[in-house]
Amino acid sequence: MRIRTPTPRAPAPATDPERLRGALGTFATGVTVVTVGGPAPHGMTANSFTSVSLDPALVLVCLGRDTLMHRLLADADAFCVSVLEAGQEEVARHFADRSRPRGPAQFDTVAWGPGRTVDAPLITGAAAHFECATWRAYDGGDHTICVGRVLTLKASPDREPLVFHRGRFQRLPPTRRKDAA
């Protein structure tokens, strides 16, 4: 018996932005709000957030070069990241809306508190908070990869995170606690 090897097909080009967005959308991510402080604080919804290193403690966020946050963070020495909780979809939508007010007024409809170390807002009720010193920035095509050194953090492990998958906000299915079995 002879086994036939299929003829390999050329991969589809990754240059089509819609195809690329669709393929990347199969990877579920958490949803964050990145903030900077000062006299004109600013927040932005971001799902390009991840850990980089445990020692030193580093995280990264990717910012589109055409965003106001990109310009503000380039001049900032610190920023905060609030990992949104499953019930905070409206907060995510608010900070993704480019028509929202600028400066302090954009925080008027959102519950927040000041960072303990960094002069930037933290979203109340978030699953986790990270206060970061700006560490490095790297070219990432139409984005800049901003790496921050974690100065302080607070996690609420009982809160389920807000998830973004296939272009939609979603919630994780409820988890059963081991002690509930």
- Give tens-digit pLDDT for 160-180: 999 887 888 877 776 665 655
What are the tens digits of pLDDT across the range 56-92? 999 999 999 999 999 999 999 999 999 999 999 999 9
pTM: 0.85
**Distance (Å, whole) CA 121 – CA 167:** 27
**Distance (Å, whole) CA 76 – CA 100:** 21
Which carries the bigger pLDDT value, residue 19 or residue 159? Answer: 159
What is the distance of C-alpha 72 from the center of its chain? 16
Q: Which of 88, 10, 2 is nearest to 45 (CA)?
A: 88
**Distance (Å, whole) CA 85 – CA 124:** 10
From residue 42, alpha-carbon distances to 22, 102, 161, 172 in Å are 29, 7, 22, 29
* CATH superfamily placement of domain 40-47+70-165: Electron Transport, Fmn-binding Protein; Chain A (2.30.110.10)
Taken as a whole, the chain contains a residue count of: 181
